[in-house]
Amino acid sequence: MSKLRNPFIANYIGSITYIPQISMVTQFFILGSLGEYLRKNKPNYLRLPYKLKIRMLFDTARGMEFLHENRIMHLDLKPDNLLVNSLYTDSSCCIKITDFGTSRFTKKTNNLTDKGLGTPIYLAPECYHDHYTFAGDVYSFAITAWEIFYQDEPYKEFKSLFDIKRFVENGERLKIDMKMPQPLKILITECWAHSFEDRPQFSEVCDKMVNVIENVGEHGELDEGIDVNDIEQFIQQRTEKFELFKSNL
């Protein structure tokens, strides 16, 4: 793990093994995880510009492409496991993927593994039967992309995880309305295909994301009401909080 280095992956520093629960040490990010302020019902909710959302998805796709090239399934891809490196779209990196506590290396000859892993609302249908594939991460990417675009909780109208499982296994998916640009809608739809064999690999997802990025400028209506000063204020607050923490060490 220590040898894996990529701009879109949080660097592994070391492990703590002398306590009952083994812990991994990675880079620290002042801006925290995307899941902290993505949803409208979060106390730190921060409305993000469409261009920044797409940039975050592109960074995520590139990080996942690297993991899969190294035969690593993430198995728990979601906004909580996306660390925010920057909130500026012109930065070299906005998102770094973390939390490989559930990840595992796989042999090149083995496409399926059996182990109860992942967060239920992001799981692909085959994962409900303990069949894990690289394509399962692609499905999780689709749910994550939906959540980042709408900044809302997936399946929030469902009463139980059992209802969500039945919904997904029946081939149903989260609602996508006319607000979502067509290139992104097509990509998400392909990524959450019911059969894992029909989903694109992350190398293909990255190629398709280029088309999504090229159309970003055509959707200024998605940013109506967004105040960039809110983002600047958030960055300043997080920076000041970190500096205060350091001064108290």
Confidence of residue 90 (pLDDT cuts 50, 70, 90): very high
Tell whether the torsion through CA atoms of 226, 149, 62 and 165 is positive or negative.
positive
- Please tell me the distance from the alpha carbon of residue 110 to that of residue 190, in angstroms, as a whole number: 24
Q: Which residues pair with 24 in a beta bridge?
A: 15
Distances in Å between the Cα of 165 and the Cα atoms of 121, 170, 195, 231, 240 are 8, 8, 15, 36, 42
Q: Residue range 148-159: average pLDDT? A: 96
Residue 57: the pLDDT is 99
Above 70 in pLDDT, residue 141?
yes
Look at residue 84 and give its three-state secondary structure: strand
Above 50 in pLDDT, residue 223?
yes
**Is 223 an active-site residue?**
no
Look at residue 9 and give its three-state secondary structure: strand
Contact 2, 12 (CB under 8 A): yes
Above 50 in pLDDT, residue 119?
yes
Q: Residue range 14-38: average pLDDT? A: 81
Residue 34 has phi, psi (to 5 degrees) of -60, -35
Above 50 in pLDDT, residue 42?
yes
Above 60 in pLDDT, residue 111?
no
Question: What percentage of the chain has pLDDT greater than the value 70?
Answer: 89
Sequence-distant (6+) residues with CB within 8 A of 136 are 73, 75, 118, 123, 124, 126, 127, 196
Sequence-distant (6+) residues with CB within 8 A of 44 are 36, 37, 234
Question: What percentage of the chain has pLDDT greater than the value 90?
Answer: 77
Above 90 in pLDDT, residue 101?
no
Tell whether the torsion through CA atoms of 162, 167, 171 and 176 is positive or negative.
negative
* Domain extent listing, the chain: 12-215
Closest Cα to residue 93, out of 7, 15, 19, 33?
7
Helix residue ranges, H only, 77-181: 134-150, 161-169
- Please tell me the distance from the alpha carbon of residue 207 to that of residue 215, in angstroms, as a whole number: 14
Above 80 in pLDDT, residue 112?
no
Range from 31-45, 110-124, 151-165 carrying the lowest mean pLDDT = 110-124
Q: Which of 59, 76, 99, 137 is catalytic?
A: 76
Residue 140 carries which DSSP code? H
pTM for the structure as a whole: 0.90
Above 90 in pLDDT, residue 27?
no
Burial class (CB in 10 A: 0-12, 13-18, 19+), 8: buried
Residue 66 tokens read as: 């690297």
Above 60 in pLDDT, residue 116?
no
Above 80 in pLDDT, residue 89?
yes
Q: What is the mean pLDDT of the chain?
A: 90
Which numeric CATH code is attached to 12-215? 1.10.510.10
